Structure 1
Protein backbone atom coordinates (compact mmCIF):
# COMPACT_ATOMS: atom_id res chain seq x y z
CA UNK A 1 0.00 0.00 0.00
CA UNK A 2 1.46 3.34 -1.03
CA UNK A 3 2.06 5.91 1.70
CA UNK A 4 0.68 9.44 1.71
CA UNK A 5 2.08 11.99 -0.72
CA UNK A 6 3.75 15.06 0.74
CA UNK A 7 4.72 18.44 -0.66
CA UNK A 8 7.18 20.71 1.14
CA UNK A 9 6.59 24.28 0.01
CA UNK A 10 8.80 27.33 0.51
CA UNK A 11 7.53 30.67 -0.79
CA UNK A 12 10.00 32.85 -2.67
CA UNK A 13 10.82 36.31 -1.35
CA UNK A 14 9.75 38.51 -4.24
CA UNK A 15 9.24 38.00 -7.96
CA UNK A 16 8.29 40.11 -10.96
CA UNK A 17 5.65 39.14 -13.51
CA UNK A 18 3.97 41.02 -16.37
CA UNK A 19 0.31 42.10 -16.08
CA UNK A 20 -2.17 39.46 -17.22
CA UNK A 21 0.19 36.61 -16.31
CA UNK A 22 -1.35 33.46 -14.86
CA UNK A 23 0.38 32.88 -11.53
CA UNK A 24 1.23 29.25 -10.85
CA UNK A 25 2.83 27.41 -7.94
CA UNK A 26 6.17 27.19 -9.76
CA UNK A 27 6.25 30.99 -10.03
CA UNK A 28 5.87 31.70 -6.32
CA UNK A 29 7.37 28.72 -4.50
CA UNK A 30 10.13 26.16 -4.37
CA UNK A 31 8.72 22.69 -3.78
CA UNK A 32 9.83 19.14 -3.04
CA UNK A 33 7.28 16.35 -3.33
CA UNK A 34 7.07 12.58 -3.64
CA UNK A 35 3.87 12.81 -5.68
CA UNK A 36 3.98 11.27 -9.18
CA UNK A 37 1.99 14.32 -10.34
CA UNK A 38 4.77 16.79 -9.55
CA UNK A 39 4.56 18.59 -12.90
CA UNK A 40 0.81 19.10 -12.53
CA UNK A 41 1.26 20.30 -8.95
CA UNK A 42 3.84 22.88 -10.00
CA UNK A 43 1.49 24.14 -12.71
CA UNK A 44 -1.44 24.61 -10.31
CA UNK A 45 -3.05 27.99 -10.98
CA UNK A 46 -3.20 30.47 -8.11
CA UNK A 47 -4.32 33.72 -9.68
CA UNK A 48 -4.38 35.76 -12.88
CA UNK A 49 -2.90 39.22 -12.48
CA UNK A 50 -5.37 41.96 -13.40
CA UNK A 51 -5.54 45.74 -13.35
CA UNK A 52 -7.34 45.71 -9.98
CA UNK A 53 -4.29 44.12 -8.33
CA UNK A 54 -2.29 47.33 -8.79
CA UNK A 55 1.50 47.20 -8.81
CA UNK A 56 1.82 44.52 -6.13
CA UNK A 57 -0.02 41.31 -5.37
CA UNK A 58 0.51 39.40 -2.11
CA UNK A 59 0.42 35.60 -2.12
CA UNK A 60 -0.37 33.92 1.20
CA UNK A 61 0.63 30.35 2.07
CA UNK A 62 -3.04 29.60 2.87
CA UNK A 63 -3.89 30.50 -0.74
CA UNK A 64 -1.21 28.07 -1.95
CA UNK A 65 -2.39 25.25 0.34
CA UNK A 66 -6.02 25.81 -0.66
CA UNK A 67 -5.17 25.67 -4.39
CA UNK A 68 -3.12 22.50 -3.95
CA UNK A 69 -5.71 20.69 -1.87
CA UNK A 70 -8.50 21.59 -4.30
CA UNK A 71 -6.60 20.00 -7.19
CA UNK A 72 -4.77 17.28 -5.19
CA UNK A 73 -6.98 16.35 -2.21
CA UNK A 74 -4.68 13.51 -1.12
CA UNK A 75 -1.61 15.77 -0.97
CA UNK A 76 -0.25 16.74 2.47
CA UNK A 77 1.24 20.23 2.19
CA UNK A 78 3.95 21.42 4.60
CA UNK A 79 5.14 25.03 4.71
CA UNK A 80 8.85 25.36 5.51
CA UNK A 81 9.35 29.06 4.77
CA UNK A 82 7.70 32.48 5.05
CA UNK A 83 3.92 32.74 5.14
CA UNK A 84 3.56 35.25 2.33
CA UNK A 85 5.42 36.83 -0.56
CA UNK A 86 5.06 39.68 -3.05
CA UNK A 87 4.52 39.61 -6.79
CA UNK A 88 5.59 42.91 -8.34
CA UNK A 89 3.60 43.64 -11.48
CA UNK A 90 5.83 44.96 -14.24
CA UNK A 91 4.32 48.09 -15.75
CA UNK A 92 5.47 49.50 -19.10
CA UNK A 93 8.25 52.05 -18.72
CA UNK A 94 7.38 55.60 -19.70
CA UNK A 95 9.56 57.49 -22.15
CA UNK A 96 12.16 59.63 -20.42
CA UNK A 97 11.22 63.30 -20.31
CA UNK A 98 14.50 65.11 -21.03
CA UNK A 99 13.12 68.47 -19.86
CA UNK A 100 12.10 66.98 -16.50
CA UNK A 101 15.47 65.26 -16.10
CA UNK A 102 17.35 68.49 -16.77
CA UNK A 103 15.08 70.42 -14.37
CA UNK A 104 15.61 67.88 -11.57
CA UNK A 105 19.37 67.85 -12.23
CA UNK A 106 19.54 71.66 -11.97
CA UNK A 107 17.49 71.71 -8.76
CA UNK A 108 19.65 69.02 -7.17
CA UNK A 109 22.85 70.73 -8.32
CA UNK A 110 21.83 74.10 -6.88
CA UNK A 111 20.44 72.54 -3.69
CA UNK A 112 23.53 70.47 -2.99
CA UNK A 113 25.79 73.43 -3.74
CA UNK A 114 23.87 75.65 -1.31
CA UNK A 115 23.98 72.92 1.34
CA UNK A 116 27.77 72.62 1.04
CA UNK A 117 28.26 76.40 1.13
CA UNK A 118 25.97 76.80 4.14
CA UNK A 119 27.87 74.04 5.94
CA UNK A 120 31.21 75.73 5.23
CA UNK A 121 29.80 79.03 6.48
CA UNK A 122 28.56 77.40 9.69
CA UNK A 123 31.99 75.91 10.47
CA UNK A 124 33.90 79.07 9.34
CA UNK A 125 35.83 77.17 6.67
CA UNK A 126 37.19 80.37 5.09
CA UNK A 127 38.73 81.46 8.40
CA UNK A 128 40.20 77.97 8.83
CA UNK A 129 41.85 78.10 5.41
CA UNK A 130 43.17 81.60 6.11
CA UNK A 131 44.63 80.43 9.42
CA UNK A 132 46.23 77.35 7.84
CA UNK A 133 47.80 79.52 5.13
CA UNK A 134 49.14 81.90 7.75
CA UNK A 135 50.59 79.07 9.83
CA UNK A 136 52.33 77.50 6.82
CA UNK A 137 53.61 80.63 5.04
CA UNK A 138 53.75 83.17 7.85
CA UNK A 139 51.69 85.59 5.76
CA UNK A 140 48.04 86.58 5.88
CA UNK A 141 45.93 86.01 2.77
CA UNK A 142 42.21 86.80 2.62
CA UNK A 143 41.75 84.43 -0.38
CA UNK A 144 44.07 81.41 0.00
CA UNK A 145 43.17 79.84 -3.36
CA UNK A 146 46.17 77.51 -3.14
CA UNK A 147 44.29 75.74 -0.34
CA UNK A 148 40.70 76.32 -1.41
CA UNK A 149 41.04 74.96 -4.97
CA UNK A 150 42.60 71.58 -3.98
CA UNK A 151 40.11 71.38 -1.12
CA UNK A 152 37.21 71.81 -3.58
CA UNK A 153 38.53 69.01 -5.79
CA UNK A 154 39.01 66.91 -2.67
CA UNK A 155 35.37 67.36 -1.68
CA UNK A 156 34.25 66.11 -5.10
CA UNK A 157 36.67 63.16 -5.04
CA UNK A 158 35.54 62.28 -1.54
CA UNK A 159 31.89 62.20 -2.61
CA UNK A 160 32.74 59.94 -5.55
CA UNK A 161 34.66 57.52 -3.30
CA UNK A 162 31.95 57.66 -0.63
CA UNK A 163 29.18 56.69 -3.05
CA UNK A 164 31.46 54.19 -4.83
CA UNK A 165 30.28 55.34 -8.26
CA UNK A 166 31.48 57.48 -11.13
CA UNK A 167 28.51 57.54 -13.51
CA UNK A 168 28.00 53.77 -14.07
CA UNK A 169 31.50 52.69 -13.03
CA UNK A 170 31.92 51.02 -9.64
CA UNK A 171 35.26 51.02 -7.83
CA UNK A 172 34.64 47.82 -5.85
CA UNK A 173 31.93 45.27 -5.14
CA UNK A 174 30.83 46.79 -1.83
CA UNK A 175 27.40 48.47 -1.84
CA UNK A 176 27.42 52.23 -1.51
CA UNK A 177 25.63 53.99 1.38
CA UNK A 178 22.96 55.14 -1.08
CA UNK A 179 22.39 51.56 -2.27
CA UNK A 180 22.10 50.37 1.33
CA UNK A 181 19.56 53.09 2.11
CA UNK A 182 17.55 52.17 -1.01
CA UNK A 183 17.69 48.50 0.02
CA UNK A 184 16.42 49.30 3.53
CA UNK A 185 13.70 51.53 2.10
CA UNK A 186 12.54 48.79 -0.29
CA UNK A 187 12.65 46.26 2.55
CA UNK A 188 10.45 48.51 4.69
CA UNK A 189 8.02 48.98 1.79
CA UNK A 190 7.79 45.21 1.28
CA UNK A 191 7.20 44.62 4.99
CA UNK A 192 4.46 47.26 4.99
CA UNK A 193 2.80 45.68 1.97
CA UNK A 194 2.94 42.23 3.56
CA UNK A 195 1.44 43.51 6.80
CA UNK A 196 -1.31 45.66 5.27
CA UNK A 197 -2.13 44.10 1.91
CA UNK A 198 -1.90 40.38 2.67
CA UNK A 199 -5.23 38.50 2.29
CA UNK A 200 -5.50 38.11 6.07
CA UNK A 201 -4.86 41.81 6.67
CA UNK A 202 -7.53 42.87 4.14
CA UNK A 203 -10.19 40.90 5.96
CA UNK A 204 -9.61 42.72 9.24
Structure 2
Protein backbone atom coordinates (compact mmCIF):
# COMPACT_ATOMS: atom_id res chain seq x y z
CA UNK A 1 0.00 0.00 0.00
CA UNK A 2 1.29 3.44 -0.95
CA UNK A 3 2.26 5.70 1.90
CA UNK A 4 1.37 9.36 1.51
CA UNK A 5 1.67 12.34 3.80
CA UNK A 6 0.13 15.74 3.16
CA UNK A 7 1.11 18.60 5.43
CA UNK A 8 0.40 22.31 5.54
CA UNK A 9 2.71 24.50 7.61
CA UNK A 10 1.32 27.22 9.85
CA UNK A 11 2.54 30.73 9.15
CA UNK A 12 3.71 31.20 12.76
CA UNK A 13 4.04 29.44 16.08
CA UNK A 14 4.91 30.62 19.57
CA UNK A 15 7.30 28.60 21.71
CA UNK A 16 9.41 28.75 24.84
CA UNK A 17 13.20 28.32 25.17
CA UNK A 18 14.28 24.69 25.67
CA UNK A 19 10.93 23.51 24.28
CA UNK A 20 10.83 20.67 21.74
CA UNK A 21 8.69 21.54 18.72
CA UNK A 22 6.81 18.62 17.14
CA UNK A 23 5.36 18.45 13.67
CA UNK A 24 1.80 18.66 15.03
CA UNK A 25 2.69 22.04 16.59
CA UNK A 26 3.55 23.71 13.31
CA UNK A 27 1.54 21.83 10.68
CA UNK A 28 -1.75 20.24 9.74
CA UNK A 29 -1.18 16.64 8.67
CA UNK A 30 -3.11 14.03 6.69
CA UNK A 31 -1.54 10.60 6.26
CA UNK A 32 -2.48 7.60 4.08
CA UNK A 33 -1.03 4.16 4.75
CA UNK A 34 0.99 5.37 7.74
CA UNK A 35 0.00 6.01 11.35
CA UNK A 36 -0.92 9.68 11.71
CA UNK A 37 -0.01 10.03 15.39
CA UNK A 38 3.53 8.79 14.85
CA UNK A 39 4.02 11.39 12.13
CA UNK A 40 2.46 14.19 14.19
CA UNK A 41 4.82 13.45 17.09
CA UNK A 42 8.00 13.69 15.02
CA UNK A 43 10.39 16.15 16.74
CA UNK A 44 11.35 19.00 14.43
CA UNK A 45 13.69 21.04 16.59
CA UNK A 46 14.48 22.16 20.12
CA UNK A 47 14.37 25.87 20.78
CA UNK A 48 17.46 27.29 22.44
CA UNK A 49 18.62 30.63 23.78
CA UNK A 50 20.89 30.96 20.72
CA UNK A 51 17.75 31.24 18.55
CA UNK A 52 17.19 34.64 20.22
CA UNK A 53 13.66 35.74 19.31
CA UNK A 54 12.76 33.60 16.30
CA UNK A 55 13.56 30.50 14.27
CA UNK A 56 12.44 29.64 10.74
CA UNK A 57 11.40 26.08 9.89
CA UNK A 58 11.57 25.32 6.17
CA UNK A 59 9.37 22.71 4.48
CA UNK A 60 12.46 20.97 3.05
CA UNK A 61 13.70 20.43 6.59
CA UNK A 62 10.38 18.81 7.49
CA UNK A 63 10.52 16.61 4.37
CA UNK A 64 14.00 15.35 5.32
CA UNK A 65 12.83 14.49 8.85
CA UNK A 66 9.81 12.58 7.52
CA UNK A 67 11.96 10.69 4.99
CA UNK A 68 14.39 9.67 7.73
CA UNK A 69 11.45 8.36 9.74
CA UNK A 70 9.84 6.45 6.88
CA UNK A 71 11.55 5.86 3.54
CA UNK A 72 9.55 5.52 0.36
CA UNK A 73 6.73 7.79 1.55
CA UNK A 74 5.16 10.24 -0.89
CA UNK A 75 5.24 13.69 0.74
CA UNK A 76 3.09 16.55 -0.52
CA UNK A 77 3.56 20.10 0.80
CA UNK A 78 0.44 22.25 0.64
CA UNK A 79 0.33 25.98 1.29
CA UNK A 80 3.09 27.93 3.08
CA UNK A 81 6.63 26.56 2.83
CA UNK A 82 7.97 28.16 6.02
CA UNK A 83 6.89 28.49 9.63
CA UNK A 84 8.27 31.28 11.79
CA UNK A 85 8.63 30.23 15.42
CA UNK A 86 8.73 33.17 17.81
CA UNK A 87 10.26 32.62 21.23
CA UNK A 88 8.14 34.07 24.00
CA UNK A 89 10.02 36.53 26.15
CA UNK A 90 9.70 37.00 29.89
CA UNK A 91 6.82 39.29 30.78
CA UNK A 92 8.16 42.55 32.13
CA UNK A 93 6.64 43.78 35.40
CA UNK A 94 3.96 46.45 35.17
CA UNK A 95 5.38 49.93 35.72
CA UNK A 96 2.57 52.38 36.58
CA UNK A 97 4.76 55.49 36.34
CA UNK A 98 6.01 54.55 32.87
CA UNK A 99 2.43 53.69 31.85
CA UNK A 100 1.16 57.10 33.02
CA UNK A 101 3.97 58.92 31.21
CA UNK A 102 3.28 57.10 27.93
CA UNK A 103 -0.48 57.62 28.33
CA UNK A 104 0.02 61.33 29.02
CA UNK A 105 2.35 61.69 26.02
CA UNK A 106 -0.14 59.98 23.68
CA UNK A 107 -3.09 61.95 25.11
CA UNK A 108 -1.38 65.30 24.65
CA UNK A 109 -0.10 64.36 21.19
CA UNK A 110 -3.54 63.20 20.00
CA UNK A 111 -5.20 66.30 21.46
CA UNK A 112 -2.74 68.64 19.75
CA UNK A 113 -3.15 66.79 16.44
CA UNK A 114 -6.95 67.22 16.56
CA UNK A 115 -6.67 70.88 17.61
CA UNK A 116 -4.19 71.67 14.84
CA UNK A 117 -6.41 69.94 12.29
CA UNK A 118 -9.43 71.97 13.40
CA UNK A 119 -7.38 75.14 13.25
CA UNK A 120 -6.16 74.34 9.73
CA UNK A 121 -9.68 73.77 8.39
CA UNK A 122 -11.18 76.67 10.40
CA UNK A 123 -13.64 74.37 12.16
CA UNK A 124 -14.85 77.06 14.58
CA UNK A 125 -15.76 79.41 11.73
CA UNK A 126 -17.52 76.54 9.98
CA UNK A 127 -19.63 75.82 13.08
CA UNK A 128 -20.50 79.49 13.44
CA UNK A 129 -21.54 79.64 9.79
CA UNK A 130 -23.64 76.45 10.01
CA UNK A 131 -25.33 77.74 13.17
CA UNK A 132 -26.10 81.05 11.46
CA UNK A 133 -27.57 79.30 8.42
CA UNK A 134 -29.82 77.06 10.55
CA UNK A 135 -30.89 79.51 13.29
CA UNK A 136 -30.63 82.79 11.40
CA UNK A 137 -28.69 84.32 14.30
CA UNK A 138 -24.92 84.76 14.53
CA UNK A 139 -23.44 83.12 17.66
CA UNK A 140 -19.80 83.27 18.65
CA UNK A 141 -19.96 79.92 20.49
CA UNK A 142 -22.67 77.63 19.05
CA UNK A 143 -22.46 75.10 21.88
CA UNK A 144 -25.57 73.26 20.68
CA UNK A 145 -23.52 72.26 17.63
CA UNK A 146 -20.02 72.03 19.12
CA UNK A 147 -20.89 69.73 22.05
CA UNK A 148 -22.59 67.01 19.91
CA UNK A 149 -19.74 67.32 17.42
CA UNK A 150 -17.14 66.71 20.16
CA UNK A 151 -19.07 63.73 21.53
CA UNK A 152 -19.49 62.34 18.02
CA UNK A 153 -15.76 62.71 17.38
CA UNK A 154 -14.93 60.57 20.41
CA UNK A 155 -17.64 58.03 19.56
CA UNK A 156 -16.35 57.80 16.00
CA UNK A 157 -12.85 56.99 17.23
CA UNK A 158 -14.23 54.24 19.48
CA UNK A 159 -16.17 52.74 16.55
CA UNK A 160 -13.13 53.05 14.28
CA UNK A 161 -10.88 51.08 16.63
CA UNK A 162 -13.82 48.74 17.44
CA UNK A 163 -12.74 48.33 21.08
CA UNK A 164 -13.76 49.60 24.47
CA UNK A 165 -10.69 48.73 26.53
CA UNK A 166 -10.30 44.99 25.68
CA UNK A 167 -13.90 44.36 24.67
CA UNK A 168 -14.65 44.24 20.94
CA UNK A 169 -17.82 46.07 19.89
CA UNK A 170 -18.46 44.35 16.55
CA UNK A 171 -17.35 40.98 15.20
CA UNK A 172 -15.60 42.27 12.10
CA UNK A 173 -12.00 43.46 12.54
CA UNK A 174 -11.24 47.15 12.73
CA UNK A 175 -9.08 48.89 10.08
CA UNK A 176 -6.27 49.01 12.62
CA UNK A 177 -6.46 45.23 13.17
CA UNK A 178 -6.41 44.65 9.41
CA UNK A 179 -3.33 46.85 9.05
CA UNK A 180 -1.62 45.03 11.93
CA UNK A 181 -2.44 41.70 10.27
CA UNK A 182 -0.92 42.89 6.99
CA UNK A 183 2.16 44.11 8.86
CA UNK A 184 2.60 40.74 10.59
CA UNK A 185 2.14 38.90 7.29
CA UNK A 186 4.79 41.05 5.62
CA UNK A 187 7.09 40.61 8.61
CA UNK A 188 6.71 36.81 8.48
CA UNK A 189 7.41 36.84 4.74
CA UNK A 190 10.54 38.96 5.24
CA UNK A 191 11.81 36.79 8.08
CA UNK A 192 11.16 33.57 6.16
CA UNK A 193 13.44 34.83 3.37
CA UNK A 194 16.24 36.62 5.20
CA UNK A 195 16.35 34.56 8.42
CA UNK A 196 15.87 31.14 6.80
CA UNK A 197 18.89 28.90 7.49
CA UNK A 198 18.00 26.75 4.47
CA UNK A 199 18.61 29.66 2.10
CA UNK A 200 21.79 30.66 3.93
CA UNK A 201 23.13 27.11 3.61
CA UNK A 202 22.31 27.08 -0.09
CA UNK A 203 23.95 30.43 -0.69
CA UNK A 204 27.05 29.27 1.17
Residue number in structure 2 paired with 1:146: 144
> Residue 111 of structure 1: CA displacement?
0.6
Moved more, 20-29 or 30-39: 30-39
> Residue 4 of structure 1: CA displacement?
4.0
1:42-191 matches, within 5 Å, as 42-191=40-189
Q: Secondary structure at the match of 2:109?
A: helix
For residues 180 and 65 of structure 1, what CA distance do their matches in structure 2 show? Answer: 33
For residues 4 and 150 of structure 1, what CA distance do their matches in structure 2 show? Answer: 71
Q: Secondary structure at the match of 1:77?
A: strand
> Residue 43 of structure 1: CA displacement?
2.2
Q: 1:13 aligns with which of 11, 14, 31?
A: 11
Residue number in structure 2 paired with 1:193: 191
Q: Secondary structure at the match of 1:132?
A: helix
Runs (5+) with no aligned partner, structure 1: none
> Residue 36 of structure 1: CA displacement?
4.3
Give the conservation status (yes or no) of the 8 Å contact 2:4–2:34. Answer: no
Q: Secondary structure at the match of 1:85?
A: strand
When residues 76 and 139 of structure 1 are mapped into structure 2, their CA distance, relative to the original with a 3 A threshold, is closer
When residues 168 and 40 of structure 1 are mapped into structure 2, their CA distance, relative to the original with a 3 A threshold, is closer
> Residue 63 of structure 1: CA displacement?
0.5
Q: TM-score, normalised by structure 1?
A: 0.89
For residues 36 and 113 of structure 1, what CA distance do their matches in structure 2 show? Answer: 63
RMSD of Structure 2 on Structure 1 (CA): 1.8
Q: Secondary structure at the match of 2:141?
A: coil
Give the conservation status (yes or no) of the 8 Å contact 2:29–2:36. Answer: no
Runs (5+) with no aligned partner, structure 2: none
Aligned residues: 202
Q: TM-score, normalised by structure 2?
A: 0.89
For residues 5 and 109 of structure 1, what CA distance do their matches in structure 2 show? Answer: 61
> Residue 35 of structure 1: CA displacement?
4.1
